[in-house]
Amino acid sequence: MYRDPVQSLETVVPSQAMRALRVGMIGIGTVGSGTFRVLARNHDQIAARAGRGIEIVIVAARNLARAAGIVGEGVALTDDAMRVATHPELDVVVEVAGGTGAARDWVLAAIAHGKHVVTANKALLAEHGGEIFEAARRHGVAVAYEGAVAVSIPIVKALREGLVANRIEWVAGIVNGTTNFILSKMRDEGLDFGAALAQAQALGYAEADPTFDIEGIDAAHKLTLLAANAFGMPLRFADVQAEGITALQGLDVACSEQLGFRVKLLGVARRREEGVELRVQPALVPAEHLMAHVNGSMNAVMVKGDASGVTMYYGAGAGSEQTASAVIADLVDVARLAGTPAAQRVPHLGFHAHAMNALEVLPRAAVRSAHYLRVPVHAAGGIEAVTAWLASQQVPVRRVTLAAPCAAGAQVLVLTEPMAQGALDLAVHALQSHPAVAGAVATLRVEMLEA
C-alpha cells in the first residue's frame, strides 16, 4: 500500500531562495506525531530562522489509517520503511520508530543512499553508533541525534559546540525522567520503590515494562553518548557500570535526607589519570546543590570544563513535542549543511575520527567516590563499635551519626571520604559479620559535584 509520493513531492514549492529540505520519516508514534504538529504550527517561524522550509514528504507507518489522520494531505504514506530509507528524492530520513534491529538496517540503508539521518534513538546509537557514524563518514552524510539525550535540552550541541574550547573533566546527569519521578515520589511521600513505581505507571511516567528505565539501562545509553562527546572516546555502552533503583529502600532515602542529601539516579562520566569512570547509580547529592532540585520527571546535565567551569542544562527528558523540538533542531542543522564539506561539519562525536582516544574504562573496583553506609545495629550503643571498627580498617570516615529512630531499629549512618569502590566493598563485606551489626549494610555513592 502506497500513496503516490511523486505527486506529493511536486507540491513542495521552495518558499525561500533555497528549496525546502525534503524529509522522509520512519515511524509516526509519539515523537513523529509531535514533530508533525510542531512543524505545522511553527512552520513560518522555523523557515524564518532556518532560511529554508522543512517539508516531510513521505512517512512509513505500520498503521496507515492512523498515520493518515496525523500527516494530513500531501504527504505520501507507505508501510515499507525501507522504501523511505532508500527514496531517491529525500535529503534526510528521520528515524523515530525505535528499536535496534530493523532501525539499524533502515539507518544504514539511508546512509548508503546518501541521505542525512536524524534520530532520537539512544539505544540504537549507544549500541551501534560506531558502525553508523563510520558509515556516515564514508558516505559524507550527517547523523544528528540531539533528541537521543535529555530530549528538550540541547546538550549534545552544548558539549560539541558550546564547550568546544574545554577539556571536559566530568559530566553528571539526571537523564532518566521515569526514575527521577519515582525518586521524587519516594522522597516527598515517603514511599518505597514499589509503591512509587506503581504511581508512576498509573500516571504514565513509567511504562508497563519499566525495566530499561529502572535498571539504569536507558541512562547508560545516554551516558555513553555524553561521554563520547565529552572525551572524544568511542561509544562504550557495554562498559558502563549501570545500577538501577530497584534495590533502593525508602529508609535510605529518608536517612540521606537526615544527613543533608537527596538521592538521584546519576549518570557520571569522569576523566581520571588512569582512565574514565562510566557509571550509572543512585547517589547522594548535597541537598543545597542545584542537581538536588531537579524534581519530578525533569532531566539535567552538569558539565565541568577546565575553562568554562561548571555549567548545567535542565529540561524535560521525555514527551512528544519536547522530543520534536530536538528533532526539528537537528533538521535545521542539516538544512544548513548543503554544500558544506564534511571536514568542516561538527563531527558526530565531537572530535574528528583521527583524533578519537581509546580511553580505558575503569573497572568498578577502581571507581573513586565518597560513600554513604547505613549499618543496622542491635542497639544505639553500636555506634561506638562501628566507629572503632571503621577506624581499625582505615576506612576514611567523614562523619558517623545515628539515624532518627525508626521502625527498622537502630541505624548507624556513615559518610566516608573519597575511596576506591573495591576497598569499600571489602570493608563492607567484613563489617557485615561484626557482632554489633544487626542486618544488611546498605551503601550508596555520594557525589559532591563540586565546581
Binding to its own copies, residues 314-343 (CB under 8 A): 314-316, 319, 321-322, 324-329, 332-333, 336, 338-341, 343
Contact region for its own copies (CB under 8 A) — 87-95, 145-153, 366-374, 415-423?
145-153
User: Minimum distance from CB of 350 to its own copies (Å)?
Assistant: 6
d(Cα 399, Cα 311) in Å, to the nearest integer?
Answer: 29
- Choice among 122, 157, 222, 304 that is catalytic: 222
- Sign (positive or negative) of CA dihedral 422, 423, 426, 431: negative
Asked if 185 is an active-site residue, the reply is no
Asked if residue 358 binds its own copies (CB under 8 A), the reply is no
Cα 304–chain centre separation: 17
Residue 87 or 122: which CB sits closer to its own copies? 122
Contact region for its own copies (CB under 8 A) — 47-55, 67-75, 254-262, 423-431?
47-55
Asked if residue 6 binds its own copies (CB under 8 A), the reply is no
Contact region for its own copies (CB under 8 A) — 55-63, 216-224, 309-317, 365-373?
309-317
Asked if residue 15 binds its own copies (CB under 8 A), the reply is no
Asked if residue 345 binds its own copies (CB under 8 A), the reply is yes
Asked if residue 147 binds its own copies (CB under 8 A), the reply is no
**Residue from 421, 442, 432 nearest 372 by CA:** 442
Q: For residue 15, give the 3-state DSSP assignment.
A: coil
Cα 357–chain centre separation: 22
Phi, psi (degrees; rounded to nearest 5) at 64: -70, -35
Asked if residue 312 binds its own copies (CB under 8 A), the reply is yes
Contact region for its own copies (CB under 8 A) — 81-89, 119-127, 259-267, 299-307?
299-307
- Identify residues 255-274 at the interface with its own copies (CB under 8 A): none
Residue 62 or 293: which CB sits closer to its own copies? 293
Q: Which of 246, 249, 311, 401 binds its own copies (CB under 8 A)?
A: 311
Q: Which of 4, 10, 40, 49 binds its own copies (CB under 8 A)?
A: 49
Q: Which residues, including other chains, have CB under 8 Å from residue 298's CB and lie 6 or more apart? A: 174, 177, 180, 314, 315, 316, 317
User: Minimum distance from CB of 137 to its own copies (Å)?
Assistant: 13
| Residues contacting its own copies: total by CB under 8 A | 73
Q: Which of 164, 365, 379, 406 binds its own copies (CB under 8 A)?
A: 164
Task: State the cell numbers at 436.
Answer: 554489633
Asked if residue 133 binds its own copies (CB under 8 A), the reply is no
Number of C-beta neighbours around residue 181 at 10 A: 24
**Residue from 423, 438, 433 nearest 393 by CA:** 423
Asked if residue 45 binds its own copies (CB under 8 A), the reply is yes
Residue 42 or 387: which CB sits closer to its own copies? 42
User: Minimum distance from CB of 157 to its own copies (Å)?
Assistant: 5
| CB distance 25 to 118 below 8 Å | no
Residue 250's H or E segment, with its range, is: helix 250-258
Asked if residue 449 binds its own copies (CB under 8 A), the reply is no
Q: Which residues, including other chains, have CB under 8 Å from residue 320's CB and lie 6 or more apart? A: 30, 31, 33, 34, 37
- Identify residues 200-259 at the interface with its own copies (CB under 8 A): 232
Residue 47 or 438: which CB sits closer to its own copies? 47
Asked if residue 189 binds its own copies (CB under 8 A), the reply is no
DSSP string, 100-154: SSHHHHHHHHHHHTT-EEEE--HHHHHHHHHHHHHHHHHHT--EE-GGGSSTTS-
Beta strand 116-119 pairing with 442-446: unpaired
d(Cα 185, Cα 179) in Å, to the nearest integer?
Answer: 10
- Residues labelled as active-site residues: 222
